[in-house]
């Protein structure tokens, strides 16, 4: 089963993100991660669904929500927006997900507070907690057949761009999409880095507009 996000990712992924697994979108700041999350919540609203949106960086913009959805007040009523400010709060919020009656779960970003929390002394315990959070999200998606969308940040290592918590963040999701800034201030590329059935490297370019995301160009290998 596919869940349409209302973005160019739907064409890239042959219909949308999978409804029984975790999809991880990663990229630098300003690459479009939160835009995709908000548009997925909008699409869920337009289909009569409810969304749990865990915001760890206060990135959810009410102004942007008004731009992308004319029925702003009804749209916001369809979202359980939960702001968390510490790693402990995030861990507890994800552990309590089983009690929520929603058709889409979004965590934007799963690793922002992780990066602030982790150090040389607590490395093992914090990584274990991150794995536990991924495990809960994956089990929720699988058992309830609902899509889970998480975002991830990046860092530079020896000239390469890597996901934060790369090994853990690559193991649990069934789909991983990298976002990159391309030519033009508002142009981006979404590239498949992991998928159960689609080729790695397939990508689509898009533009961030006032009303959402608009596809530009055609599929290529990146």
Q: Look at residues 33, 31, 78 and name the one whose alpha carbon lies nearest to residue 56.
A: 33
- 153 versus 11: the higher-pLDDT residue is 11
Written as one string, the DSSP assignment of 70-131 is: SSHHHHHHTEEEEE--SHHHHHHHHHTGGG---SEEEEETSSHHHHHH--TTTHHHHHHHHH
Model confidence at 160: pLDDT above 70: no
14 pLDDT band (50/70/90 cuts)? very high
Domains of the chain: 2-180 (3.40.50.300)
**Distance from CA of residue 114 to its chain's centroid?**
16
> Bridge-partner residues for 155, per DSSP?
162
167 pLDDT band (50/70/90 cuts)? confident
Q: For position 161, what pLDDT does the model report?
A: 60
In angstroms, the CA 215 to CA 93 distance is 34
In angstroms, the CA 30 to CA 44 distance is 23
Q: What is the pLDDT of residues 38-70, one digit of tens each?
A: 999 999 999 999 999 999 999 999 999 999 999
The CA radius of gyration of the chain, in Å to the nearest whole number, is 16
Is the sign of the CA dihedral 100, 2, 48, 210 positive or negative? Answer: positive
In angstroms, the CA 34 to CA 208 distance is 11
In angstroms, the CA 51 to CA 143 distance is 17
In angstroms, the CA 178 to CA 120 distance is 28
Token pair listed for 156: 């530079």
220: enclosing H helix or E strand: strand 213-221
192 pLDDT band (50/70/90 cuts)? very high
């Amino acid at each position: 089963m596919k869940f349409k996000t209302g973005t160019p990712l739907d064409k890239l992924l042959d219909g949308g993100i999978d409804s029984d697994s975790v999809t991880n979108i990663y990229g630098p700041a300003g690459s479009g991660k939160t835009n995709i999350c908000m548009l997925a919540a909008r699409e869920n609203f337009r289909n009569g669904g409810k969304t749990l949106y865990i915001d760890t960086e206060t990135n959810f913009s009410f102004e942007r929500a008004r731009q992308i959805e004319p029925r702003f007040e009804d749209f916001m009523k369809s979202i359980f927006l939960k702001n968390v400010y510490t790693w402990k709060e995030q861990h507890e919020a994800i552990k309590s997900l089983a009690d929520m009656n929603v058709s889409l779960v979004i965590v934007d970003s799963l690793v922002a507070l992780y990066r602030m929390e982790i150090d040389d002394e607590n490395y093992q315990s914090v990584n274990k907690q991150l794995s536990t959070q991924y495990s809960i999200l994956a089990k929720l998606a699988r058992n309830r057949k609902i899509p889970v969308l998480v975002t991830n940040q990046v860092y530079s290592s020896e000239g390469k761009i890597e996901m934060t918590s790369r090994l853990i963040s690559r193991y649990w999701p069934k789909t991983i999409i990298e976002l990159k800034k391309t030519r033009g201030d508002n142009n981006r590329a979404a590239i498949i880095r992991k998928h159960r059935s689609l080729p790695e490297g397939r990508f689509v370019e898009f533009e961030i507009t006032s009303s959402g995301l608009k596809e530009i160009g055609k599929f290529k290998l990146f």
